[in-house]
Chains A and B, each alone.
Chain A
Amino acid sequence: MKPGLFQYVRADDVEKAVSLLQEFGDEAQLLAGGQSLVPAMALRMALPDVLIDISSIAEMRSITLTDDVLRIGAGCRYVDVLRSEDVARAAPMLVQAIPFIAHEAIRNRGTIGGSLAHADPASELPACMLALDAAIVLQSASGARTIAAEDFFLGTYSTALDEGEMIIAVEIPAIAVNQHHRFLEISRRSGDYAISGGAFVLEMDAGIITAARLAFFAVGDCAVLAGSEALLGKPLNAETIDQVAQRVGEEITFYGDLYNGIGAKRQITKTLTRRLLAQFPGMEL
């Protein structure tokens, strides 16, 4: 349970971090909150030769809301996001979702960038980013690029990050007046990884659904969107909810985990979909 030896370098700004990434290539790993990487190192599943500590980069710790775009620096910890008024205003989903992530002590260190880069299929934030139609801002020594969340998550622990690239921020379109966010997960114990989870955004006009992004996590090899079309042009009622739950069960390629087989995952995800849709305005019991 002790990590292997490594070389430790601290980057105080993004420029330094990307130049170190370029210098050390795939021998190096970034260290942000350490809440996934350090356990992996303790188990010697990760044995980086060089650790580039990015946890003190101040420019990645800011949260801003300008022109209806919420920008969250990759170095923001879950606790920073949870406490931000701009986040509460522009992306209420994150305030609903973050309490489900791990436990307080871990939320006090773990970062947004770390969670997205780690891309655990059971993680809450990748699904939130899909549902919120977020863009992920990447930086390397040769420049910056922005990629839609939908194109970023490729599979289990696999993302579109190229060698030498790091996440510096996410950009989320602020919630519109006719939009609603809901988040829910089903797990055995509070703080455990979910058996199935959902992050839903609905847009409604006079009781009819005009746009929908239903994202799921802990169900397949990475966070996925499913069932959204089945809602379009429909009123939100028991019949619609049944149809959507059915579609979600058909569209997702489910993966089992240690404790739940594919059949259980499908069933639980359909139940989750029903419960979550029933929480939207007009459906509250």
Chain B
Amino acid sequence: MDPLIPVSYTINGKSVQQQVSVRTTLTDMLRHQMGLTATHAGCEQGSCGACTVVVDGLMVRSCLIFAIQLDGARIETSEGFADDQLMDELRRNFADRNALQCGFCTGGMLVAAHDLLSRTPHPERAEIREKISGNFCRCTGYEAIVDAISKTAQALPLEDSGK
């Protein structure tokens, strides 16, 4: 067995202590040790975006970070938005617009969409496309996902526009 090292994080607002192997990625720590399985392991080499989470306020690929590197970090996963109105709206619009089929990409897409709209509440379609350009979807053809994000944005109050 690999030796284990203690690390602490704030995950979805709660402080958490974990023992991790040096080679455990953030994806595997979240999924196998925390049971937070909405963060998906797709390619595990940085290509697909299914493992997207937010670390210290920046959207990142959790498969390309070792859990041991993040001692003291704040981590948000797609489960972490339970009482978040913006995430609620995104989820509803994803469902309404059929912006998911198998759902494999959805956790990563929602994290990216939330990150976009919380910085830029009224993005152009091109900005939405750019934002999710690192997230692969093998089912929907993307159009529905862009629609769902765009519809969510349209319902946001105008005075919040960060542009």
Taking Cβ atoms with an 8 Å cutoff, the residues of A that contact B are 1-8, 31, 34-35, 38-39, 42-43, 51, 53, 55, 79, 102-106, 108-109, 189-191
Contact = CB atoms under 8 A, between A and B. Distances in A.
A43 B60 CA distance: 20
Given A79-B58, A109-B65, A1 B44 contact: yes
- The 6 A-B pairs of least Cβ separation, nearest first, read A103-B134, A39-B45, A8-B22, A1-B44, A108-B58, A38-B64
Given A1-B45, A2-B23, A3-B23, A38 B134 contact: no
Contacts of B63: 38, 42
B134 A106 contact: yes
Interface string B121-153: 000000001110110000000000000000000
B23 A109 contact: no
Contacts of A35: 46, 61, 64
B59 A108 contact: yes
A104 B66 contact: no
A109 B49 CA distance: 14
A109 B22 contact: no
Contacts of B22: 5-8, 51
A6 B23 contact: yes
Among B5, B131, B133, residue most surrounded by chain A Cβ atoms (within 10 Å): B133
B52 A38 contact: no
Interface in B69-94: 69
Given A2-B23, A106-B46, A55 B59 contact: no
13 contacts: A1-B44, A2-B28, A8-B22, A8-B66, A35-B64, A38-B64, A55-B69, A102-B134, A103-B49, A105-B134, A106-B46, A108-B59, A109-B65
A19 B120 CA distance: 44
Contact of A190 (B28, B64, B133): B133
A51 B69 CA distance: 11
B105 interface: no
B106 to A, nearest CB: 16
A193 B69 CA distance: 28
A34 B64 contact: yes
B20 to A, nearest CB: 10
B68 interface: yes
A206 B46 CA distance: 48
Contact of A109 (B2, B60, B112, B130): B60
Given A5-B23, A104-B134, A105-B49, A53 B59 contact: no
A104 B59 contact: yes
A42 B45 contact: yes
A46 to B, nearest CB: 12
Given A55-B69, A190-B133, A43 B61 contact: no
Nearest to A192: B133
A11 to B, nearest CB: 12
Among A2, A31, A34, residue most surrounded by chain B Cβ atoms (within 10 Å): A34
Nearest to B47: A39
Contacts of A51: 22
Nearest to B5: A8
Contacts of A189: 133
B69 A4 contact: no
Nearest to A99: B130
A148 B49 CA distance: 36
Given A8-B68, A35-B46, A191-B134, 20 more contacts: A2-B28, A3-B23, A3-B25, A4-B23, A35-B61, A38-B25, A38-B65, A43-B45, A51-B22, A79-B58, A104-B59, A105-B59, A105-B112, A105-B134, A106-B46, A106-B64, A108-B58, A108-B60, A109-B58, A109-B61
